[in-house]
Chains A and B, each alone.
Chain A
Amino acid sequence: MKLLERLLVKRVYALSGDLAVFASPLAVVPPMEETTGIYLGIDDLGRSVFLNPAALPNMHGIIVGTTGSGKSTLARHLILEVRRMGVSSWTIDPHSERSYMRLFRRVLLLGMERINLLEIPGWKSSEFAGELARYIEKIYGIAGARFALREILLECLERNSLSPLENLSEVPEVKRIYEDLAQLHEDGAPTISELAAESICFTFPQMSSREFRSLAALALLMLLQGYRRMLGEVHRLEHMVVLGGGSLPGTVPSASVQGNQEVGLLCSCRDAVTA
C-alpha cells in the first residue's frame, strides 16, 4: 500500500530558498489586522477593517489625503462609531462644515458663544498660564513676550477676570490677544466639566481670524487635558476630539494633549504640513 502511495505522489526537489517563495509564512500571512474596536469598513478583499484604540501606543491620529479623498467622511464615520460605543466627541471645525454640524445636537459658534476659560480643573494656575503664554507667543508671533504674558495670564486666573489684560490693551499686541480671549471667555459660560460631558461641534464665524481659531482650539484642548487629568488616566477611549484642518498652527497641538491617553485626538488635515 505504501509502495502504491509513493508511486502516486509526484515529489520534486526544492531547496529552502525555493520554498521561501511560496511556503513561508512571511510570503503568505498579511500584516496583523485588528478584529475589534472601531469599525472602519471593508478592504479590497472584503475583510472587515477595525481600528482598535486600546492597541495603539497613544490615541493620537492623523488623517491625510488629497482633496476629495474622504478625510472628513472618515472623521464623521469615526464620530458616529465612537458614539455607538458610548463615547462622547468634540469636533473643532474652523471651516464650519454643515456635514459636521449635522452630526451634533449642540453646536457652539465660538466668538458668538463663549466658554469659561478661567476655570481650569486639573491645572495649577502657573502651569496653565505658562503653557497658554507659550502658545500665544507662537500663534501671534510676538517673540520674547512669553514671560510677561505668563504673568498677566496668571493674574487673570487669580482674579478670575480678563481685566489685567484689558488694562494693558493700549499695547497693540496685547489688545489683539485681549480681544480674542474676550470673544472666547465669559463668566458664567459653560465650564470644561459641562462641555466635556457632551458631544459638541465647535465652529467659528466666517470672518474670524486664523489666530483666534488656533487660540480657541488650543485653549479647548488644554482645558480638556487638565480636566481628564483630574479624573485620572485610563488607557481607554473616553472622549474623541476631531480637529478639522486649519484649526491649528504649525506648532504643537499634540504637546498639549500628551499623556492624556483617554482623549483620542484626531486631526483631519487638509495637508500634511499643518500636522
Chain B
Amino acid sequence: MASWRARLAGLALLGALLATPHNKAAAEVLVAASLTLLTPEMLQLAILALSGGWPLPDIVCLRGVCVEHSGARGRRYCAFAGFRVLDCRHGCYDLSEKEFFNLSTTFFHVGFIGIDVDYLVIAWNQHYYIIVKACGREPHELGKMLEEHLGRIAEALSLVGCSWERVEGRVLKNVLRPPYIVVSTAGASRLAATGVILAPLLLRMPSLLPLSLAGLAAILFSRGRRSYTTVRGFQAYALTSVDSFYSLTPLFDVLARARIVYSSCARDAYLAVRMRPAAPEEEQAVDTEAYRSYEVGTALEKLSLIHRSSKFFAAARRRWERREALYLVSGLLLAKPGQQRVLEKVGLRFARLPGALEVLA
C-alpha cells in the first residue's frame, strides 16, 4: 500500500520535473521536499539533533483532565482524560482461548470506535490505563467529546467484567510523562546542529537542501516544546510492525502470546499504544492490496508479490470471517533491551527510532 507520504513525494517529484526548465530553484526545493517526505527518519534525526531529545508539549493537569499547553494561543486545544482499570473478573491467566479472544475483541469493538479521537492504552507495572485524547477549538465541545468516548469505554469495561476508576490529573501527568523519561539538558550541541543544518541553505548547496528543509521543519516542530530523553538503562522503542496482522493465527496462539505479554508486563516495562479505528477506505485498502499484489505478482511471476498478497489475504479473511476491526496503531516501549526481544517473539516488532516518544504527544 503506497502511503500518503509516498504519494506526496511522487507528486513533488513530478512537480520538480515540470518546474526544472522554468525555475531551477523551485525544482531543487521540490526534490528536497520529496526526499524529506520519503525519509522521515532524517526529519526525526534533525529534531533530535536540534532539541537534544524528543520534544513533547507541556501538559497542564486539572482534577480529572490534562490539557496540552501548545504555546499557540486561542487556536487548538488537546485534552486527555482516562481510566485506570482496577481489576477484571477474569484474565488471560484463567480464560479459555475462545473466551479470551471474544472478550478482548468485544472490548475493542465496543469501546474504541471514535474516529475523531486518539486512544492511548498504557500498560505499566501491571497497571492498565486507557486515555482518550481529543483535540478541538472549543473547550466545551472537547469536554463533551471526552465524556462521550469515556462513557463508551466504561460500557466496554463493564461488558468484559472490569472495574475502573477515573484517573486523577496528577496521576495522568505521571502516566503521560513517566519517570523513565527526563527533560533533556543538552545545550551546546544544539547550536552546532542548527549551524550544520542551516549551512546548505545559506551556501546554496542544492544537494544538501533536504537537510536544511528537515532542519527548518524540526525547528518549527520543536517550537515551545520541552525535549525528553530516556533515563539510563532504559531505551525508547517505537512499534514498527505487528507481525501477527499478516497471519490467520489460531486462538490458542493468541492466548499463549497474551500470557507472555502478561508476564513481561509484570516487570517495569512501559508500553504505550496509541490507536484509532481505521476509516472505511483504509479497511478497503487491505483487501485491495491483497488483490492487486496477487494480480501483479502472477502477471509478472514475482513470488515476493504473491507472498505479499497471501499475507494481506490472511488479514482480509480475519476482517471478514472473524469480524475483527482494523486499527491504526503506533506504539512506544520504554524498557530494557531484553524485554523488547521478548515482545518481538510475540509478534510486536520494536525498533529504536528517534521519534518513538511522539506517541505520548
Choice from A9, A24, A25 contacting B355 with Cβ under 8 Å: A9
Residue of A whose beta carbon sits closest to that of B238: A10
Contacts of A231 in B (CB 8 A): none
- Partner-binding segment picked from B12-20, B24-32, B170-178, B241-249: B241-249
Contacts of A143 in B (CB 8 A): none
Q: Check A8 against B43 for contact (C-beta < 8 Å).
A: yes
Is chain B's binding surface mostly helix, strand, loop or mixed? mixed
Quick check: B266 and A21 within 8 Å, CB to CB? no
Complex CA–CA separation, A39 to B128 (angstroms): 25
In the assembled complex, which residues on chain B have CB atoms less than 8 Å from the CB atom of A6? 4
Q: Report how far A92 CA is from B93 CA in the complex, Å.
A: 37
Chain A, 1-51, CB within 8 A of any chain B CB: 1, 4-33, 45
Chain B: residues with Cβ within 8 Å of the partner, total of 79
Which residue of chain A has its CB nearest to the CB of B85?
A25
Whether B347 pairs with A26 at a CB distance below 8 angstroms is: no
Smallest CB separation, A272 vs chain B (Å): 22
* Pair B241/A27 contact, Cβ less than 8 Å: no
Give a binary string over B81-113; 1 marks a CB under 8 Å from any A CB, 0 the rest.
000011110111111000011011101110000
Mask, B179-201, CB within 8 Å of A = 1, is 00000000000000000000000
Q: A9 vs B47: C-alpha distance in the bound complex, in angstroms?
A: 13
- The interface centre, meaning the residue of A4, A6, A9, A10 with most chain B CB atoms within 10 A of its CB, is A10
Distance between B327 CB and nearest chain A CB, rounded to angstroms: 5
Asked if residues B273 and A22 are in contact (CB atoms below 8 Å), the reply is yes
Contacts of B87 in A (CB 8 A): 29-33
Q: A16-B105, A21-B346 are in contact. Are A11 and B325 (CB under 8 A)?
A: no
Measured between alpha carbons, how far is A248 from B168 in the docked complex, in Å? 52
Contact B254 A20 (CB under 8 A): yes
Instruction: Assess whether B318 is in contact with A14, with CB atoms less than 8 Å apart.
Output: no
Inter-chain CA distance A5–B40, complex, in Å, is 11
Q: Is B302 an interface residue (CB 8 A)?
A: no
Residue in A13, A26, A31 whose Cβ sees the most chain B Cβ within 10 Å: A26
| Distance A85 CA – B275 CA, assembled complex (angstroms) | 48
Contacts of A33 in B (CB 8 A): 87
Nearest CB of chain A from residue B275's CB, rounded to whole Å: 7
Q: Which of A244-275 contact B (CB under 8 A)?
A: none
Q: Is the CB of B107 within 8 A of A15?
A: no
- Chain B residues with Cβ below 8 Å from A9 are 274, 330, 355, 358-359
When the two chains form their complex, are residues A19 and B275 in contact, meaning their CB atoms are under 8 A apart?
yes
Q: Which residue of B lies closest to A4 (CB)?
A: B221
Chain A residues closer than 8 Å to B348, beta-carbon distance: 21-22
Smallest beta-carbon distance B1→chain A, Å: 9
Within 8 A of A (CB), among B226-243: 238-242
Say yes or no: B266 contacts A45, CB within 8 Å. yes
Residue B117 is within 8 A (CB to CB) of chain A in the complex:
no
Q: How far is the CA of A6 from the CA of B347 in the complex (A)?
A: 24
Measured between beta carbons, the chain A residues less than 8 angstroms from B101 are 17, 20
Q: A13-B242, A14-B245, A15-B318 are in contact. Are A27 and B261 (CB under 8 A)?
A: yes
- Interface flags for B315-344 (1: CB within 8 Å of A; 0: not) read 100110010111111100000000000010
Tell me if A7 and B327 are in contact (CB < 8 A): no
Contact of B108 among A1, A24, A45 (CB under 8 A): A24
- State whether the Cβ of B305 lies closer than 8 Å to any Cβ in chain A: no
Shortest C-beta distance, A164 to chain B (Å), equals 56
Q: Which of B1-57 contact A (CB under 8 A)?
A: 4-5, 37, 40, 43-44, 47
CB-CB under 8 A from B324, the residues of chain A are: 15-17
Assess the A21–B330 pair: CB atoms within 8 A.
Answer: no
Question: In the bound complex, do residue B327 and residue A15 qualify as a contact, i.e. CB atoms below 8 Å apart?
Answer: yes
Residues of A within 8 A of B259 (CB): 27
Most chain A beta-carbon neighbours within 10 Å: one of B91, B217, B257, B274: B91
Question: A17-B254, A19-B329 are contacts. A10–B353 as well, Cβ < 8 Å?
Answer: yes
Q: Known contacts being A1-B221, A16-B324, is A29 close to B330, with CB within 8 Å?
A: no
Nearest chain-A residue to B322 (Cβ)?
A: A17
Cβ–Cβ contact A4 & B220, under 8 A: yes
Nearest Cβ distance between residue A195 and chain B, in whole angstroms? 40
A13 with B328, Cβ < 8 A, contacts A28-B126, A28-B128, A28-B265 known: yes
B77 at the interface (CB under 8 A from A): no
Hey, what's the 0/1 contact readout for B243-272 against A, CB within 8 Å counting as 1?
011000100001001110110011000010
B326 near A13 with CB under 8 A, answer: yes
Does B208 sit within 8 A of A, measured CB to CB? no
Given contacts A12-B239, A19-B327, A45-B266, contact A27 B104 (CB under 8 A): yes
Most buried by A among B101, B104, B257: B104
Q: Could you tell me if A18 and B245 are in contact, using CB atoms closer than 8 angstroms?
A: yes
A33 to B126, CA, bound (A): 12
Write the nearest CB–CB distance from A222 to chain B, whole angstroms. Answer: 38
Bound Cα distance from A199 to B259, whole angstroms: 45
A-B pairs with beta carbons under 8 Å apart, 12 shown:
A7-B40, A12-B239, A17-B105, A18-B347, A19-B104, A21-B254, A21-B261, A24-B103, A27-B265, A28-B85, A29-B162, A45-B126
**A-binding residues in B (CB < 8 A):** 4-5, 37, 40, 43-44, 47, 85-88, 90-95, 100-101, 103-105, 107-109, 121, 123, 126-128, 130, 157, 160, 162, 217, 220-221, 238-242, 244-245, 249, 254, 257-259, 261-262, 265-266, 271, 273-275, 278, 286, 315, 318-319, 322, 324-330, 343, 346-348, 353, 355, 358-359, 361
List 10 A-B pairs, minimum CB-CB distance, nearest first. Answer: A20-B104, A32-B87, A24-B104, A15-B324, A27-B258, A16-B108, A11-B328, A28-B123, A14-B242, A16-B105
A sample of 15 more A-B contacts (CB under 8 A), given A15-B324, A22-B258, A45-B126, is A4-B217, A7-B40, A12-B241, A13-B242, A13-B245, A16-B105, A17-B254, A18-B244, A19-B104, A19-B327, A22-B271, A24-B104, A24-B107, A26-B90, A26-B95
Name A residues whose Cβ lies closer than 8 Å to a Cβ of B: 1, 4-33, 45
